[in-house]
Amino acid sequence: MTHVAILGGGPAGLAAAQAALAAGAAVTLLDEGGRLGGQFWRHHAGITDPRMQHGFERFERLLGSLERAEVHSGAAVWSAELRDGGDGGGGRIVLRAVVGDADAADRRPVVVQADAVVVATGAHDLALPVPGWTLPGVTTAGAAQALAKRDGVSVGRRTLVAGAGPFLLPVAQSLALVGATVVGVHEASRTGALARGWLPKPWELLGKSGELAEYVGALVRHRIPYRIGSGVVRVLGVERVEGAVVAQLDTQWRPVPGTERVIECDAVALGHGFTPRLEAAIMLGCEVEGDRRGRFVVVDDAQRTTMPGVFAAGEVTGIGGADAALAEGAIAGFRAAGLAQDDPRLRDALRVRDRMRRLARRLERAHGIRPGWTAWLDDDTIVCRCEAVTKGAIAERAEVPLRAMRLATRAGLGPCQARTCGRAVEAIVAEARASAAVTGAAGEAVGGANAGAQGDGAVGFDRRPLLAPVRLGELAEPTEPASDENRNEAWPSGCSA
Amino acid sequence: MSGTVRIVVDDELISGRDGQTIAGVLIGSGRIAWRTAQHGERGVFCGIGVCHDCLVTVNGVEGVRACQRRAVEGDRIEREVRS
């Protein structure tokens, strides 16, 4: 029997599990959350307001299909490898995890060996740095959503929501449902881009038709102002958020001088996009493609990555929303279990996936991050939150290779391992290199800047020596200890080459 | 439907709803920051276990992400200070 391992228990991972089981495979699913569902179906019975949930019947059906699967919730998977050739039995994919309460000292090691793996690790919010964004009261939009859904609380009483993309709407709705006043939703994109990107069916990304109408209804019902071409350019406060400066943004997201105004609030929720969680795919050797604006796992029509037996589905292959993730997950699960591409069981999922992919491209065009945002940073704005590294310190060392810059400034070397600031640091470095090149030899400026930015490898900050935070003692468990190199918090030498 | 869970934060007893994370209980009690970082106080930022801003010490174990750990009756939470 084919054994399929699945990394991630959100829509993509659950759909993959269901499909692989239906095709007769044995399935092991590993998910970091205490409860399955991922970000989309984050919930807690008795706490979550059902109005915040969408497609929950589908979720319950997926859970119901997992009876024959081995499921590990609370699993921090810290290593994912392909074992070389030969057949030692048990399959070539080797995943190592510790399972238990989050960050507990007594988690137990689990090693999974499988014939195939579906990487469905999802994405997290991308909040761009803004002066003042380290003040308590500033969170990502995803945090506001998670706290509302899972804990039934909001960080502030008056929250400003800002960033880009349709995901800001359900966040505003959830905040309103837990009793917070949403003082405004500020969407950085402008009408033209929105119209081009969203038409003709803008609601598709948010799920089945009607969902967008529901969010718009919530905005109206809760009297929430919705502004386009607008963003937070500064957060005000001494010990916590006391207000925010919003400004009009031009098409490149550069603040328009003279349009600033202060909005009184005690919380700011920022969500400028999403960063796929690529590290497991990268550790498995899968090719990733793109640049700092968007880097994703390369997959073919069968959701196969460039590594044999490794499939990927959901946001790691492109930000497409829950319906796309469900379809991709089903395709990956069926194929990983050995079904052929033309098997009739794949037909529905293939159709949905292709439609959602087209929509995702339109949305990226409409809401994708524009380079002008760096204009709202001051030199002393903290960019790397873990190590308190400023924009000025990063830009100053933009000319040296990325790895040397990081070692000199410590940008991206803190506990989050650049998950929070990586994209922003890359953007600041690229911008500084480009402007240095312009003032220098104009002829080779662009090529030189690009070559420099690419010289650190196509994966930029996304390669990580450990996939999840684990304690040193846990790595020393007798289930094959990690190499000493991997225990070092600093970048192991082999990793950024 | 959910009951109550009580935890001790810096020697003060606070209560939340059973099933909430430690971050949820802290925020529910009116706290929004509980870790001293290099440049000021931090609380929840990402809310989903990515950013490590919300770390606390739980029952003597350091470095626990408050947004990921479910609060358990009697948990003792201590602030963390980064020098």
Q: Determine the Cα angle at A364 with ends A363 and A370, to 5°.
A: 130
CA neighbor of A411 nearest in space, from A476, A460, A361: A460
Average pLDDT over residues A221-229: 88
Q: What is the DSSP string of A127-189?
A: ----TTTTSTTEEEHHHHHHIIIIIS--S-SEEEEEESSTTHHHHHHHHHHTT-EEEEEEE-S
The minimum CA-CA distance between A143 and chain B, rounded to whole Å, is 4
| Among B37, B41, B47, beta carbon nearest to A143 | B47
> Are the beta carbons of A250 and A437 closer than 8 angstroms?
no
Measured between beta carbons, which residues in chain B are less than 8 angstroms from residue A240? 32-33, 41
Instruction: Pick left, alpha or beta for residue A81 (phi over 0 → left; psi -120 to 50 → alpha; otherwise beta).
Output: beta
Assess whether pLDDT exceeds 80 at residue A229. Answer: yes
pLDDT for res A194: 60
Q: In whole angstroms, give the CA distance from residue A90 to residue A93.
A: 9
Pick the residue from chain A with its C-alpha nearest to B20.
Answer: A151
Average pLDDT over residues A263-276: 96
B62 contacts on A by Cβ (under 8 Å) = none
Give the fold, CATH level 3, of A128-271: FAD/NAD(P)-binding domain (3.50.50)
Name the residue among B51, B62, B4 with its Cα closest to residue B29: B4
Is the pLDDT assigned to residue A188 strictly greater than 60?
A: yes
Tokens of residue A418, six digits = 């650049």
Measure the CA–CA gap between A147 and A141, rounded to whole angstroms: 10
Measured in angstroms, the CA of A147 and the nearest CA of chain B are apart by 7
Asked whether the predicted pLDDT for residue A467 surpasses 50, the reply is yes
Please give the residue of chain A at the shortest CA–CA distance from B64.
A103
Spatial contact of A397 and A406, defined as CB atoms under 8 Å apart: no
pLDDT of A494 > 90? The answer is: no
Q: What's the CATH number where B37 sits?
A: 3.10.20.440
Is the pLDDT reported for residue A447 higher than 50?
A: no
pLDDT at A483: 41
What are the φ/ψ torsions at residue A246 (nearest 5 degrees)? -110, 155
Q: What is the ipTM of this complex?
A: 0.97
Dihedral sign (CA B68, B70, B71, B77): negative
In this complex, the residue of A124, A154, A471 whose CB is nearest that of residue B46 is A124
Question: Does residue A276 have a cis bond before it (omega within 30 degrees)?
Answer: no
Domain A3-123+275-341: top CATH class? alpha beta
Domain map (residue ranges) of chain A: 3-123+275-341, 128-271, 378-458
User: Per the structure block, which two tokens stand in for A246?
Assistant: 């919003």
Lowest mean pLDDT of A36-45, A313-322, A478-487, name the range: A478-487
CA distance B34 to chain A (A): 9
User: Would you call A104 and B45 a contact, using CB atoms and an 8 Å cutoff?
Assistant: no
User: Using CB atoms within 10 A of its CB, is residue A494 exposed (0-12), middle (13-18) or buried (19+)?
Assistant: exposed
- What parts of chain B have a pLDDT lower than 70? 1-2, 83
- Alpha carbons within 13 angstroms on the beta-carbon side of residue B66 total 31
Percentage helix, strand, coil for chain B under 3-state DSSP, each rounded to 5: 10, 40, 50
User: Burial code of A309-337, b = ≥16 C-beta within 10 A, e = fewer?
Assistant: bbbbbbbbbbbbbbbbbbbbbbbbbbbbb
Write out residues 197-226 of A within 8 Å (CB-CB) of B: none
Torsion of CA A371, A160, A133, A292, to 10 degrees: -30
Q: How many domains does chain B have?
A: 1
**Does residue A85 carry a pLDDT above 90?**
no
Share of chain A above pLDDT 70, in %: 85
Amino acid at A55: G
Helix (H), strand (E) at residue A290: strand A288-291
Position A489 scores a pLDDT of 35
pLDDT at residue A218 tops 90? no
* Cβ separation A385–B27 shorter than 8 A: no
Instruction: Give B 30-59 residues with CB within 8 A of chain A.
Output: 32-33, 37-53, 55
3-class state of residue A316 by DSSP: helix
Which tens digits make up the pLDDT trace of A334-372? 999 999 999 999 999 999 999 888 878 777 777 889 999
Q: Is residue A203 scored above 60 in pLDDT?
A: no
Residue of A247, A227, A254 whose CA lies nearest to A369: A254
Say whether B51 and A416 touch across the interface (CB within 8 A).
yes
B/e letters for A71-95, b = 16+ CB within 10 Å, e = fewer, are bbbbbbbbbbebeeeeeeeebbbbb
Q: What is the model's pLDDT at position A445?
A: 33
Measure Cα distances from B6 to A100, A155, B14 in Å: 21, 20, 6
Higher pLDDT pick, A450 / A108:
A108
Contacts of A469 in chain B (CB under 8 A): 52, 63
- Its domain, for residue B66, covers 4-81
Instruction: Please check whether residue A180 is in contact with residue A226, taking contact to mean a CB–CB distance below 8 angstroms.
Output: no
- Residues A274-330 have pLDDT tens digits of 999 999 999 999 999 987 668 999 999 999 999 999 999 999 999 888 999 999 999
* pLDDT, average across residues A62-66: 96
- Residue A148's contacts (CB-CB under 8 Å, 6 or more residues apart) are A49, A52, A154, A174, A175, A177, A178
Comparing A3-123+275-341 with A128-271, is the CATH topology the same? yes
Mean pLDDT of chain A: 87
Q: What per-residue confidence (pLDDT) applies to A488?
A: 34
Q: Give the pLDDT score at A199.
A: 47
